[in-house]
Amino acid sequence: MAVSSDIAADFLVEAGEILERLGEQLVQLEQAADDKGLLNAVFRGFHTIKGGAGFLGLVPMVELCHALEDAFDKAREGKIMLDDDAFDYAQRCLDLLVEQMAALGAGTELPVADRELLTAIKVWASGQTASKPAKPALAKAAAPKAAGGGPARAGGDTEQTVRVDTKRLDAIVNLTGELVLARNRLKVLRDKLKDDDLHRAVTALDHATARLQGSVMRTRMQPVSRVFQRFPKMARDVARSLDKQVELSLEGAETELDRNLVEALADPLVHLVRNAIDHGVERPAIRVAAGKAPIGRVVLSARQEGDHVTIEIRDDGAGMDPEKLRSKAVEKGLLTPEAAARLGTEDCFQLIFMAGFSTKVEVTDISGRGVGMDVVQSKIRELSGQIQISSELGNGSRFTIKVPLTLAILPTLLVRVDNTTYALPLSRVVEVLPMPKAKPDYVDGLPVLDLRSSTLPLVWLRGWLRLPPNTTGGEVIVVLQTGEFRFGLVVDQVRGREEVVIKPLPKRVRGLAGYAGATLIGDGSLALILDVDGIQRSVTSGNGRLKRA
């Protein structure tokens, strides 16, 4: 049936949230089958979905939920025991319910449950042990569990909330952005006119706008638990398919991000968690031989740090071998032997983000095709974020993602070159330095600055823009961070910090290397927002070194 009524639309939202919680609750219950609170929460979840589906006349969904509800009700009464087969049935039914929800949203016919699966559930609920459906043959791997124990939110006091169409929220955010631009313009006029009454009025407007901006941003914030809670089930399924034992821990799931960022991070995190289990965690026998516990550990964590959020995926697996990565890149023709030999350890780790790179010998449903990690890096960069890798051979790997709290309004550092203003994302700015009077040193014919016993490569923004050199002096170095790489961007002048509203570039220039968007700044002029990663890529060679001028 096509979803056209408000009731059906509300059911899609509410049932979708319940299904997300059920995925985590079932994994937790598998690790603590005697937890009555969790068992009751799972039962109520399927019961609630069945009720809504029955009201809408969704017979295939009602039939599936009824079979599970009946089985878990018998388990609550102590008439049957929860075993591995029972949880396999429940997880397979959960996958089918997700497919049915997708079909409902698309207005297509709902897929029907396999009769063999329904029969097996009814047999289990009756306390018998025969007629179980066939499933893939696995050595029984322990399922991963989510940290925290106990049920996810299944009850308690409810908050007074109102459902608002996200388009309305987006419209409010856009209007707030326009107000911010007008505020910035008035602040410039205030400083020019030097009028006391105007100063007081604009200062009051500035404070009110800042509070409004913060309140509007908070209405779009969502906890990353909306993404995290789908991973316990996914990790369980991946671990069992690979015959591995994995414990997944979730930390900082209450950390909040802009709604658009929460949704956009889902796919990159899926790739990274699957890779941690597939490439990182070893099989139990290998771990025991290496002196480790048979159960591997994967941690997915989030925390807010200033105006950005840091998300980490770390494991205690085999780690990455830089030499193996180097040789694979040469073997696949992605690097020449000479270029590969010049790579440092950190550079070798970055090779996994190259399209077509994979260390898997055999292609599986999970990995081996050389696609995925390059998409992860591209997506993170689209979100104005960055991803870093650290790994120790034999002791696991850590992937650290940093993204801004919101993409709607961006704190920037305004710089000028040839009387034109450009904006740099403030999250990428490390520090600002005056240009030394002495000429820069050169390493391999490339300009560098000796900064606190380290070598900082220099890039002239004028040169990148193909403008003539500055002959008036007074240049400034803006130290920028991109991944593990730092470089100094030489500009004519630094104007200061300003929060700007990001506007997309025209289609004919969209995707141009080094440009992330445009904005109107306080003096009313247009400023291009520079893409730090794009600049770094356009001025470095394939081995990460700056190109010769």
Shared domain for 400 and 413, answered yes or no, is no
Region 223-238: mean pLDDT is 87
The CATH number of the domain holding residue 323 is 3.30.565.10
Strands (E), 271-395: 296-305, 308-315, 386-392
Indicate whether 365 pLDDT > 70: no
pLDDT for 421-435, tens place per residue?
999 988 889 999 999
Of 357, 380, 404, the residue at which a domain comes to its end is 404
Indicate whether 549 pLDDT > 70: no
Indicate whether 3 pLDDT > 60: no
Shared domain for 359 and 290, answered yes or no, is yes
Q: Give the pLDDT of residue 546.
A: 56
Q: Give the pLDDT of residue 276.
A: 93
Shared domain for 193 and 286, answered yes or no, is no
Question: Tokens in use for 356?
Answer: 């077509």
Of 360, 355, 353, which is closest to residue 387 (Cα–Cα)? Answer: 353
Q: How many CB atoms lie within 10 A of CB 540?
A: 17
Question: Tokens in use for 99?
Answer: 């497919």
CB under 8 A, 24+ apart: contacts of 444-451: 444/545, 445/548, 446/545, 446/546, 446/548, 449/477, 449/488, 451/479, 451/488
Region 336-346: mean pLDDT is 85
Indicate whether 150 pLDDT > 70: no
Which residues does 371 contact at the CB level (< 8 Å), separation at least 6? Answer: 355, 356
Of 295, 232, 223, 233, which is closest to residue 265 (Cα–Cα)? Answer: 223
Indicate whether 229 pLDDT > 90: no
Q: Which domain holds residue 181?
A: 166-220
Separation of alpha carbons 150 and 143, rounded Å: 16
Number of domains in the chain: 4
Shared domain for 117 and 174, answered yes or no, is no
The CATH number of the domain holding residue 189 is 1.10.287
Phi, psi of 507 (to 5 degrees): -60, -35
Is residue 152 in a domain?
A: no
Is residue 151 in a domain?
A: no
Indicate whether 540 pLDDT > 90: no
Place of tokens 């990148």: 464
Shared domain for 516 and 499, answered yes or no, is yes
pLDDT for 165-174, tens place per residue?
778 888 888 8
Q: Give the pLDDT of residue 547.
A: 56
Q: Report the amino acid identity of residue 410.
A: L
